[in-house]
Amino acid sequence: MASFSTSEFKSGLKVLVDHDPCSIIENEFVKPGKGQAFNRVKFRNLKTGRVMERTFKSGDSLEAADVLEVPLQYLYHDGEHYHFMNEQTFEQYVADDKSVGDARNWLKEQDVCTITLWNGQPLMVTPPNFVNLTVTQTDPGVRGDTASGASKPATMETGAVIKVPLFIDEGEVLKIDTRTGEYVSRVKE
Amino acid sequence: MSSEASWRPAATCEVLRLRAAMLAAARRFFLKRGVMEVDTPVLSAATASDVHIASLQTNISLDGPKPVYLQPSPESAMKRLLAAGSGPIFQFARAFRDAEAGPMHNPEFLLLEWYRPGFDLGALINEVAALVAVLMKPKIPVEQLSYREAFISYAGIDPYTASIEAIAELCRRSGFRGALDDRSAGLDILLTRLVQPALSPGCVFLYHFPADQAALAKVRPGNPPLAERFELFLDGIEIANGYQELIDAREQRIRIEADLARRRERGLPVVPADIRLLQALEHGLPECAGVALGFDRLVGLKAGVEDIRRVMAFPVDRA
């Protein structure tokens, strides 16, 4: 496996730190006037999402992390695992609850998600920025009220509960921003 | 760096004016105290042997190519002047260190270095504090702290008695990953990770470093032996490094040889021994104390700029 020396560290580089795949955020050169040169490096741990700081001697190397981001189609949930497929090669991938995380709220069959693979295994699932989902349950709509700004909860086909305007009815398809979990608009069929 | 055109200076004209005013004030400070300004060459046949300093090298054509080094500090040349009887001297020197770049480093930078025959370390510390007060603000708080006290207070270990294993473990807990070359590398990590961030605001003079970090300072025998060296931290940032200067030519030769041996061991460029410095010491260097101060960092602190490349007209990526 390739490795990178501290002088090659730059933002976005994927390396192994304490055996975990990490993405470099920041790399700072530190040196006492009469001493050893170091690099103080900030990382995001791609497994936990946590940001951490480590110090290395300048010139030391870290192993590259075999991390790859690929678009994969979501197929189905078998009750335990989530199944994805590469539309070009038809190769299938199985992701567990941990790597899917909050993305589970927005996974709709046949949607294409970005999957971060580490050594070929799904590490993180990022849903599309916008998804169209059907409302499966909400209180009856209030006609004419399109401007008051009041909202009510609605359950979507994926099980996610979001806030929607009062005029929304069951069976309607809504556009949702997955980064904020917010209602964007109705989708005309 | 940003996308702005790279022909432009990195510092604003306002910061450059502040820099000029500080240069002028420092010159007045030394003029009043009878310290003579000197200027010594940037290019020299020898350079520092310190394994942690990487010198830039070039060639000049004089009866064929002759290797010369861009000086990482004017120390050697200034000591030769002292040995020749110059009396107290100061210099604003362009200094060069390869592979040092970051918010606190630029490969080419400005050192304010001065030497005081007859001064001891305490007298020089007082003079540095007086200069900083003139350049920064009149009533700046000043604290003196021994290296040992600082480590006990802020890192929770005694730098002289702690085992190398205990030092390595503390380095690890502070986020260091890798192998320590030696004890002083471990102490350097703890200094930058634990001690420096905990220092009081204002001037903190850390003094009496471990003997293996003496560099060109005298070592006071004892248990443990202590390097007569100090460092000034201003608001936690390393600003200056001073010595009770080593004047013993024999000891100086031993240290250079030891550095060169370590360079060979580690596969670093083996630089020529500084013969002329040794000759000057053999002739006789007066008892003196000397200090080098990173002028760009001082300007950065005064200007409230966190990246020293923004107090330089043209840092390396625009030079």
> Is the previous residue joined to B88 through a cis bond, with omega within 30 degrees of 0?
no
Is residue A169 predicted with pLDDT exceeding 70? yes
Compute and round to an integer the Cα radius of gyration of chain A: 22
CA proximity to B26, closest of B84, B82, B76, B93: B93
If you average pLDDT over every residue of chain B, what do you get? 96
Note whether B192 contacts A37, CB cutoff 8 Å: no
Note whether A30 contacts B102, CB cutoff 8 Å: yes
Overall average pLDDT of the B32-61 stretch: 96
Note whether A7 contacts B99, CB cutoff 8 Å: yes
CB-CB neighbors (< 8 A) of B174 in chain A: 55
Is residue B147 predicted with pLDDT exceeding 80? yes
pLDDT of residue A146: 63
The one-character DSSP state at B53 is: -
The pLDDT tens digits of the residues spanning A103-122 come to 999 999 999 999 999 999 99
The pLDDT tens digits of the residues spanning B112-145 come to 999 999 999 999 999 999 999 999 999 999 999 9
pLDDT of residue A145: 62
**Predicted structure pTM score:** 0.84
d(CA B67, CA B75): 20
Is residue A142 predicted with pLDDT exceeding 80? no
CB-CB neighbors (< 8 A) of A33 in chain B: 231, 238, 241, 292, 294
Note whether A56 contacts B177, CB cutoff 8 Å: yes
A&B contacts, CB < 8 Å:
71
Label residue B4 by pLDDT band (50, 70, 90). Answer: low
Note whether B192 contacts A60, CB cutoff 8 Å: no
Q: How many CB atoms lie within 10 A of CB B91?
A: 23
Q: Which residues contact B28 (CB under 8 A, 6 or more apart)?
A: none
pLDDT of residue A123: 92
Label residue A148 by pLDDT band (50, 70, 90). Answer: low
Give A19's Cβ-side CA count (13 Å radius): 0
Overall average pLDDT of the A10-29 stretch: 94
- Could you give the angle at which helices B121-135 and B13-32 cross, rounded to 10 degrees? 140
Please report, for residues A6, A145, B187, B239, B307, the alpha-carbon distance to residue B236 in angstroms, rounded to integers and kept in the order given: 25, 60, 17, 9, 15
CA distance, residue A68 to nearest chain B CA (Å): 25
d(CA B212, CA B258): 11
